[in-house]
Amino acid sequence: MLCVTDVIRVPGLGELERVREVEVSAGRCFADVGMPEVAGDEPPGLGELGRYLVAGRLLVVGEPVVGYVMWDLVDGAAHVEQVSVHADAARRGLGRALIDRVQVDSGLALTLTTFRDVAWNAPYYRRIGFRVLAADEVTPGLARVRAQEAAHGLDRWPRVCMRRDEVPSH
């Protein structure tokens, strides 16, 4: 469902504030499912986004930007730290396209952590080829990510670690 204006690309420095706006817009829907703390969470700062940009681990989609993905390398996998699409551009396949691009470009399996029971989180990721990891499959790096999330208060709601080994055919 990508169209010509939805080119996935590396953002310019001047677009990082727009990436923050996308995150705020995408986060608002958490208030509708009883998670106002998540909805009100601060988006990544310009410094953090700049570090991902310099490291080559930040991509955006749209002109102006309507979605983004940033990722880390965790235990040999590309770990999706965040993927968000502006509410006005949701349900067009942009998030999936960003995730697929990270996997194709990196050539690595993908991991992520997410809310188990939020429709656009774990259930969505299952539909695009991710699986929930069993406790004995959680790598040391993923365990550290989960500990950081718990320290941030995200364990108020059930969370899971997920993995996708290859891009499924559409």
| Residues ≥6 apart with Cβ < 8 Å to 136 | none
- The first and second tokens of residue 79, run together, are 């770990």
Q: Which structure tokens are listed for 101?
A: 């691009």
Beta-carbon contacts of 9 under 8 Å, excluding residues fewer than 6 positions away, are: 59, 60, 61
Pairing of strands 110-115, 77-85: parallel
For position 133, what pLDDT does the model report?
98
Distance (Å, whole) CA 12 – CA 93: 23
Neighbours of 78 (CB within 10 A): 23
pTM listed for this prediction? 0.93
> What domains, with CATH codes, occur in the chain?
4-164 (3.40.630.30)
pLDDT of the chain, 170 residues: tens digit per residue: 555 456 999 999 999 999 999 999 999 999 999 998 988 889 999 999 999 999 999 999 999 999 999 999 999 999 999 999 999 998 899 999 999 999 999 999 999 999 999 999 999 999 999 999 999 999 999 999 999 999 999 889 999 999 999 887 76
Structure confidence at residue 6 (pLDDT)? 65
What DSSP designation does 159 have? E
Pairing status of strand 110-115 against strand 131-132: unpaired
| 85 Rama sector, left if φ>0, alpha if ψ -120 to 50, beta otherwise | beta
- E strands, 13-130, are 58-61, 67-74, 77-85, 110-115
Pull the structure tokens for residue 9: 């690309």
| DSSP 8-state class, residue 80 | E
pLDDT given for residue 3 in this prediction? 56
